[in-house]
Amino acid sequence: MSVVRVALTQTPWTGDKESMILRHEEYARQAAAEGAQVIAFQELFYGPYFGITQDPAYYAYAESVPGPTVERFAALAKELGLVMVLPVYEEDQPGVLYNTAAVVDADGTYLGKYRKHHIPHLPKFWEKFYFRPGNLGYPVFDTAVGRIGVNICYDRHFPEGWRMFGLAGAQIVFNPNATAPGISNKLWEIEQPAAAIANGYFVAANNRVGAETNEYGDEAVAFYGSSYVVGPDGNYVGEVASSTEAGVIIRDLDLGQIREVRERWQFFRDRRPDAYGEIVAP
């Protein structure tokens, strides 16, 4: 498969889990109707971004993976023939919780999961209260649309993970986010294109949009959407999405561009892993 039609969602918190799930089911149907072959939802897609506070009440959003939400969307994936990337709150066992993305193939098969490695603990991003660091490595999944990886939000600031996906043969790396304005804006413009260039694959990055005032009132942050897809040459595929409006963005990715760019630049030929040992020193 050379050209893959990719869909990304960006949407605000509706106020309850079931309505968020229903909204994303609608987005999946819309994407499939427009010919999309794979769809990726935003970080922790069925809940609020609860990292804004430290409240054990939000542990109730965690569930097993696979579990009820993943199984519900796996059935929809099979119905629509749509590969799905499902970022959810995972409970491995009571008190052992992860920021996770499940990957489901177009026939509804659960392929596995990625657990967010790097966990921030900053004002309004108090994630260490909710998540353990990921421990499943950087898996790349063979899907109906090719080899895909998932890198979640804060992970994007660490180049080593991006490289791991490239070394494992990823063609598209999805990067679901909950990113708010401030010092992150410039990074949002730079980091994913830089990763795509350095590793010779496509990066599909989506972000929450809107302020979750229905959950946090005046304490809410305004997520700025601006979801996009970037190619291995560092150029946007189509336009960057709205910074304020919810919706589905759909882009066509020519996977043949990966070979073209890699043969032009030869970064994988010229890299020197024998010289990088200190990178992984504690």
What distances in angstroms separate CA 205 from CA 76, 135, 174, one per listed residue? 23, 22, 6
Which positions are catalytic? 43, 116, 153
Q: Which residues, at least 6 apart from 8, have a Cβ–Cβ distance to it below 8 Å?
A: 39, 40, 204, 205, 206, 227, 229, 241, 248, 249, 251
